[in-house]
Chains A and B, each alone.
Chain A
Amino acid sequence: MVPLLQAETRWECPNCPATHVTAGSRAQLPFHQCPGLRGILAPYVEAGTRCKVEARDREDYAGGELGLRTDRDGRPVMSVVTTRDDGQDCAVFPAAASAQQEG
């Protein structure tokens, strides 16, 4: 019998003490509500990665867009950028598109 081992990935956040563990392939970055990053949704980074994770405020007028993500002060956040020594990740937060029945 051959045991089937699943790879395990350990994650951490440079802005708060949160940690996370995933099994299997690294298909998607896991996220968490980060108290150290104004309370917004932020990605974990693989444990041991030298990086900074920063929120970027929305650069354009928000108007009445549905479901924009905001920080704990209600300020719209358009993305979170993770800057590593060897590159940069980006998670964007679009609003929901909206449609109304027209008479």
Chain B
Amino acid sequence: MVSNFFAPAAALTYTGDTINVALYNNSVTPNKNDTFANNAYAAGTWAGNEISQAGQWATGGVALASKTNTFGAGTAQIGAANTASGNNATLTAVFGCLVYDNTLAAKNAFCWNYFGGSQSVTAGTFTVVWSGSGILQFTIT
């Protein structure tokens, strides 16, 4: 399964916009070389296969909180606090998430983050613990 891609857009404002995290099963086929329009929520391969539960991890995803931009030597990264469901979620066969701009009408994606295998939760809390390297890291040359 392809893990990551980035779709740049001039209108993106990471810290100012509402950035959502939507969950997916393993039937999606992320493709960084797909069209810009298809690298967006509810478009292309993201037009189905979402995993959600009303009131817990709703359709469309959960918004990122405490968003950060960090700049280092030759890198820049975006991050956020852990993203969690409600405490009574039942979600099955979750394989990854799409991080996208929910403020933009086109709902352009920032990236796809793979969970390494099938993940499930039953009447509990599903938490995405973002990497110490951020949600998305850019290498600047």
Contact = CB atoms under 8 A, between A and B. Distances in A.
Nearest to A56: B117
Interface in A1-48: 26-29, 31, 41, 43
B98 to A, nearest CB: 10
Contacts of B82: 28, 31, 91
Contacts of B124: 82, 84, 87-90
Contacts of B126: 89-92
Interface string A57-92: 011101001111100000010110010101111111
A103 to B, nearest CB: 9
A79 B119 contact: yes
A97 B121 contact: no
A97 B6 contact: yes
A68 B138 contact: no
Nearest to B140: A101
B4 A88 contact: no
Contacts of B84: 27-29
Residue from B77, B122, B124 having most chain A Cβ neighbours under 10 A: B124
B111 A97 contact: yes
Contact of B128 (A76, A94, A96): A94
A94 B126 CA distance: 13
The B interface, classified by DSSP as helix, strand, loop or mixed, is strand
B114 to A, nearest CB: 6
A95 B121 contact: no
Contacts of A84: 124
A29 B115 contact: no
B136 A94 contact: no
Contacts of A31: 82, 129
B106 interface: no
B137 A26 contact: no
B100 interface: no
Nearest to B84: A28
Contact of A93 (B129, B135, B139): B129
B87 A26 contact: yes
A39 to B, nearest CB: 15
Given A28-B82, A58-B117, A95-B131, 14 more contacts: A27-B84, A29-B84, A59-B118, A65-B114, A87-B88, A87-B121, A94-B115, A94-B130, A96-B137, A97-B4, A97-B110, A98-B4, A98-B139, A101-B139
